[in-house]
Amino acid sequence: MTIIRAEDISRSFRTGNATIDVLKSINLDMERGTFNILMGPSGSGKTTLLNILGALDRPDTGKVFIDDQDITGISERKRNVLRRSKLGFVFQSLALVSNMTAFENIDFALRISKYNGRDRRKRVEECLDFVGLKKRMKHYPGEMSGGEQQRIAIARAVAHKPMLLLADEPTAELDTNTGLRVVKLFKDLVTHDNITVIMCTHDPSMMTVADRIFMLEDGVINDAA
């Protein structure tokens, strides 16, 4: 079953007098419960594409469908609801709130998403456990290593049970082993919870976990299966 589909997506940026065509008529679809990797050289448009797929940005032409809903023309308010309820994001630069503990960071995200599970505390603890950091729940981000903070960010991104998780180079600042551990967590989400993951990376060692690899080059996708 297709969870996300892009039809004929293009996106250009103007800087001064020059226009750069970053995405040129991209078509792709991804199946529910799969691990998808988006690769490509720096500047090839991975982040630009991920932002469009995650309803953070709009394409100049083309359409994006998430869970069969055309999200291209919908209002900003509806996009907000969609992002909070169905999507989860992990960014390269950590975005934990520094004066909140690990527990509070996740709990806060759950409240924003209007999570309607009966026991929010239990869900936060479950997510901390999933990333192996339950014993750190009272720690502040500044008291944790980069890898630990990234794992908390992942716990936060999945706490509300999104159907689609978008991750932009989540392992870029981690050493290889910690990076592989983070990717393994994503893989578990795919296999156990049927979540679809889209991850940008330019690290070839991550390719082994992917169900599908999309290569972005010169504004077009080469589906490397």
Ligand X SMILES: Nc1ncnc2c1ncn2[C@@H]1O[C@H](COP(=O)(O)OP(=O)(O)OP(=O)(O)O)[C@@H](O)[C@H]1O
Q: Which residues bind Mg ion (CB under 5 A)?
A: 46-47
In 3-state terms the chain splits into helix, strand, coil percentages (rounded to 5) of 35, 30, 35
Burial of 26 (0-12, 13-18, 19+ CB in 10 A): buried
Reported as type and span, the H/E element at residue 107 is: helix 102-112
With CA atoms as reference, report the closest residue to 135 among 123, 157, 152: 152
48 belongs to the binding site for ligand X (CB under 6 A): yes
| Residue 212: φ, ψ to 5° | -145, 145
Which C-beta is closer to ligand X: that of 46 or that of 151? 46
- Using CA atoms, how far apart are residues 202 and 186, in angstroms rounded to an integer? 17
CB under 6 A: which stretch of 38-46, 76-84, 101-109, 139-147 binds ligand X?
38-46
CB 148 → ligand X: shortest distance, Å?
A: 23
**Cα–Cα–Cα angle for 22, 53, 107, nearest 5°?**
130
Residue selected from 6, 26, 44, 150 as contacting ligand X according to rule CB under 6 A: 44
> In the complex, which residue's CB is closest to Mg ion?
47
- 44 interface partner picked from Mg ion, ligand X, none, CB below 5 to 8 A per type: ligand X
Question: Which residues from 152-211 bind ligand X, rule CB under 6 A?
Answer: 202
Which C-beta is closer to ligand X: that of 79 or that of 202? 202
Which C-beta is closer to ligand X: that of 8 or that of 57? 57
- Using CA atoms, how far apart are residues 10 and 21, in angstroms rounded to an integer? 8
CB 48 → Mg ion: shortest distance, Å?
A: 8
CB 39 → Mg ion: shortest distance, Å?
A: 11
Which C-beta is closer to ligand X: that of 139 or that of 202? 202
Binding residues for ligand X (CB under 6 A): 13, 15, 20, 22, 40, 42-48, 202
